[in-house]
């Protein structure tokens, strides 16, 4: 019995030895502890060109290139195999005829039961072809990438260049007009148009930068609901009168890490898209809520708590083909000059960079919902309380010029104010009566109907606690015969810059 099983082992060992010797796809050989070749199989002969009798007894460093030998690479390989139990490597090796091949090498130490080093086994594969194929693929990929880049640049030239040209035209015509037109009203209007063009150019650049990922995000924890609320005035201005904008914001705090400027730009892009999709009017709805996602529910987002922002319209919807390409930079179905194709790519870029996601739900003829997801941030309870305590001061901005109003809204929001707006005096008074917590009134002076100074006087009577700041393009003495300054309203000259605003607001602070 015992005798029998031993002989089976012997037979197995012999069979195994035979197998090793005759394997031709791998070079398998053994080395003495010093690196002298001890055994040599058919694969080794095939790869390296040495017959067993030519190589057995020689040092294995002959397989290395001269440079590698000079750098002591063979000895280091043995050393590493001995100390760490295994050594794996890829590199050039040399055949008997001097030609090279790219080898994948595994070197294992062999030890006896007492742990004494008996030698090494070495398995080598020739993967030159695989390496060549990989290099070829990499080259092809690079070429494809370059040609895609060129295509994108081509589209850029066609689309954006056209837009910029129009904007530059507005600015250059405006400059011509300013040189010759003496009428202050025309000059003011021209300045407004030029400013609008410059702002549109700036927002195009913003989108391009976001697209090129050149714009690092300024991520901070913010209550998304609050940001949308304070951005509402701008969104309203983006939709025409025949269209309704509805906000449905969960009243609880919705904290997430976002870049406010980029988020606002994304929101505006989505609302503008919704507007464009509803030439005959309709409803744009902006929702924000806290949601719990299962893994895989949205793109590759992991399961967890998210803040979801949805911009929904009842417009023409997207075909499946459009839907597939919608977030592609420069993809647009709009006529030249109307669309840049960068809106959704900005939105998508922002979602990606915020570790969030984007989902498009659209049906032709029914409408579109674009869902944005941002990872929710857990705020410690006392932080939440604090953020309520430090609720921003509310300011009411009044100007009859929509573009000027929009700029003012931007500046005040940037300064951290909670912004409300009105287009004229009566509307401002109505807003003041509805919101008892308005701290500052910031009004244009020259407006049709009730002037800013008239408004200021009523406000002083009815709401004595509210600080009044008047903005005018004319100098102080022109303000209704100095009445405004005599009444001690704070004044700021138009056009004002952010720094002017900070100075005036600082002076208007209590204490
Ligand atoms: P642009 O608005 O400049 O065309 P976008 O990246 O914002 O570029 O949008 C790309 C395309 O996606 C649009 O041209 C349009 O075909 C489609 N699209 C985006 N939003 C909507 C929407 N709300 N309804 C229908 N189609 C839309
Ligand atoms: Mg767009």
Residue 180 lies in a domain: yes
Residue 131 lies in a domain: no
Cβ density class 271-289: b for 16+ within 10 Å, e for less: bbbbbbbbeeebbbbbbbb
Under 8 Å between Cβ of 484 and 492: no
- Residue 343 Cβ < 6 Å to ligand 1: yes
Burial class of residue 32 (count of CB atoms within 10 Å of its CB; 0-12, 13-18, 19+) = middle
Residue 381 lies in a domain: no
- Residue 277 Cβ < 6 Å to ligand 1: yes
Q: What is the DSSP letter of 239?
A: S
- The whole-angstrom separation of Cα 293 and Cα 274 is 26
**Judgement on whether residues 157 and 268 belong to the same structural domain of the protein:** no
- Residue 210 Cβ < 6 Å to ligand 1: no
Helix or strand (DSSP H, E) at 406: helix 402-414
CA of 262 to the centre of ligand 2 (A): 15
Nearest ligand to the CA of 345 is 1
**Judgement on whether residues 407 and 331 belong to the same structural domain of the protein:** no
The residue among 327, 348, 375 that closes a domain is: 375
Which atom of ligand 1 lies nearest, measured to the CA of 344?
6
**Judgement on whether residues 371 and 232 belong to the same structural domain of the protein:** yes
**Judgement on whether residues 327 and 226 belong to the same structural domain of the protein:** yes
**Judgement on whether residues 321 and 422 belong to the same structural domain of the protein:** no
**Judgement on whether residues 194 and 228 belong to the same structural domain of the protein:** no
Residue 383 lies in a domain: no
Tell me the angle at which helices 224-238 and 260-276 cross, rounded to the nearest 10 degrees.
40
CA of 344 to the centre of ligand 1 (A): 7
What pLDDT does residue 197 have?
Answer: 82
| Strand pairing report for 87-94 and 117-126 | unpaired
Could you read off the pLDDT of 267-322 as tens digits, one per residue?
Answer: 888 998 999 999 999 999 999 999 999 988 887 899 999 999 999 999 999 999 99
Instruction: From residue 304, give the alpha-carbon distance in Å to each of 285, 298, 356, 367, 377.
Output: 25, 11, 11, 28, 11
CA of 250 to the centre of ligand 1 (A): 27
> What is the domain-level CATH number for residue 407?
3.40.50.2300
Under 8 Å between Cβ of 99 and 126: no
Could you read off the pLDDT of 248-267 as tens digits, one per residue?
Answer: 998 888 899 888 878 888 88
Does pLDDT of 55 surpass 90?
A: yes
CA of 156 to the centre of ligand 2 (A): 15
Give the percent of the chain with pLDDT over 90: 38
The mean-pLDDT minimum among 23-27, 160-164, 345-349 falls in 160-164
**Judgement on whether residues 243 and 156 belong to the same structural domain of the protein:** no
Residue 66 lies in a domain: yes
What pLDDT does residue 214 have?
Answer: 53
- Residue 352 Cβ < 6 Å to ligand 1: no
Nearest ligand to the CA of 342 is 1
**Judgement on whether residues 204 and 230 belong to the same structural domain of the protein:** no
What pLDDT does residue 8 have?
Answer: 67
Contacts 24+ apart (CB under 8 A), 316-322: 316/277, 316/278, 316/364, 316/365, 317/277, 317/362, 317/363, 317/364, 317/365, 317/366, 317/367, 317/368, 318/360, 318/362, 318/364, 318/368, 319/364
Band (207; pLDDT cuts 50, 70, 90): low
Residue 384 lies in a domain: no
**Judgement on whether residues 285 and 419 belong to the same structural domain of the protein:** no
Helix-, strand-, coil-residue percentages of the chain, each rounded to 5: 50, 25, 30
Residue 389 lies in a domain: no
Query: What's the domain count of the chain?
Result: 4
By residue range, what is the domain housing residue 120?
2-126
> In Å, how far from its chain's centre is CA 391?
29
Which atom of ligand 1 lies nearest, measured to the CA of 333?
14
DSSP of 9-59, one letter per residue? HHHHHHHHHHHHHH--SSEEEEE-TTSBEEEE-HHHHHHH---HHHHTTSB
Residue 45 lies in a domain: yes
**Judgement on whether residues 359 and 455 belong to the same structural domain of the protein:** no
Band (2; pLDDT cuts 50, 70, 90): very low
- Residue 314 Cβ < 6 Å to ligand 1: no
Nearest ligand to the CA of 329 is 1
Average pLDDT, the chain: 83
> What is the domain-level CATH number for residue 362?
3.30.565.10
The residue among 95, 126, 157 that closes a domain is: 126
Under 8 Å between Cβ of 26 and 124: yes
Handedness of CA 451, 457, 463, 469 (dihedral sign): positive
The residue among 159, 189, 211 that closes a domain is: 211
Does pLDDT of 475 surpass 90?
A: no
Nearest ligand to the CA of 369 is 1
- Residue 344 Cβ < 6 Å to ligand 1: yes
**Judgement on whether residues 366 and 230 belong to the same structural domain of the protein:** yes
Which atom of ligand 1 lies nearest, measured to the CA of 345?
6
Band (165; pLDDT cuts 50, 70, 90): confident
**Judgement on whether residues 207 and 226 belong to the same structural domain of the protein:** no
Under 8 Å between Cβ of 223 and 255: yes
> What is the domain-level CATH number for residue 35?
3.30.450.20
């Amino acid at each position: 019995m015992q005798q029998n099983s031993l002989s089976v082992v012997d037979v197995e060992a012999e069979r195994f030895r035979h197998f090793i010797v005759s394997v031709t796809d791998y070079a398998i050989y053994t080395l003495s502890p010093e690196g002298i070749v001890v055994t040599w199989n058919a694969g080794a002969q095939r790869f390296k060109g040495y017959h067993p009798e030519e190589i057995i007894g020689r040092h294995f460093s002959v397989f290395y290139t001269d440079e590698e030998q000079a750098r002591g690479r063979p000895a280091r390989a043995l050393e590493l195999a001995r100390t760490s139990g295994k050594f794996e490597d890829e590199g050039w090796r040399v055949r008997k005829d001097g030609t090279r091949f790219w080898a994948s090498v595994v070197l294992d130490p062999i030890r006896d039961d007492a742990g004494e080093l008996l030698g090494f086994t070495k398995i080598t594969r020739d993967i030159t072809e695989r390496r060549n194929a990989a290099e070829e693929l990499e080259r092809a990929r690079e070429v494809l990438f370059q040609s895609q880049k060129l295509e994108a640049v081509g589209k850029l030239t066609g689309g954006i260049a056209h837009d910029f040209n129009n904007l530059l035209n507005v600015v250059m015509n405006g400059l011509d007009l300013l040189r010759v037109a003496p009428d202050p009203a025309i000059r003011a209007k021209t300045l407004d148009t030029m400013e609008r063009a410059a702002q549109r150019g700036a927002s195009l650049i913003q989108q391009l930068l976001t697209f090129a990922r050149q714009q690092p995000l300024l991520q901070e924890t913010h209550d998304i609901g609050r940001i949308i609320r304070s951005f509402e005035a701008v969104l309203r201005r983006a939709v025409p009168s025949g269209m309704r904008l509805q906000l449905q914001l969960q009243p609880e705090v919705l904290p997430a890490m976002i870049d406010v400027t980029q988020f606002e730009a994304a929101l505006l892009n989505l609302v503008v898209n919704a507007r464009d999709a509803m030439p005959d009017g309709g409803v744009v709805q902006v929702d924000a809520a806290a949601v719990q996602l299962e893994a895989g529910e949205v793109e590759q987002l992991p399961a967890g708590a998210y803040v979801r922002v949805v911009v929904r319209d009842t417009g023409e919807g997207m075909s499946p083909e459009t839907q597939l390409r919608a977030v592609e930079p420069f993809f647009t179905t709009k006529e030249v000059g109307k669309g840049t194709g960068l809106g959704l790519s900005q939105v998508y870029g922002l979602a990606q960079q915020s570790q969030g996601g984007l989902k498009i739900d659209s049906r032709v003829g029914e409408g579109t919902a674009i869902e944005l997801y941002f990872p929710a941030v857990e705020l410690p309870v006392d932080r939440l309380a604090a953020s309520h305590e430090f609720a921003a001061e509310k300011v009411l901005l009044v100007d009859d010029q929509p573009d000027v109003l929009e700029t003012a809204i931007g500046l005040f929001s940037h300064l951290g104010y909670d912004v409300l707006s009105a287009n004229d005096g009566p509307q401002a008074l109505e807003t003041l009566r509805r919101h008892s917590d308005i701290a500052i009134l910031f009004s244009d002076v020259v407006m049709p109907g009730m002037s800013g100074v008239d408004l200021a006087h009523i406000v002083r009577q009815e709401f004595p606690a509210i600080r009044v700041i008047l903005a005018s393009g004319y100098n102080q003495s022109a303000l209704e015969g100095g009445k405004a300054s005599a009444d001690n309203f704070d004044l700021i000259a138009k056009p004002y810059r952010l720094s002017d605003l900070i100075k005036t607001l600082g002076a208007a602070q209590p204490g």
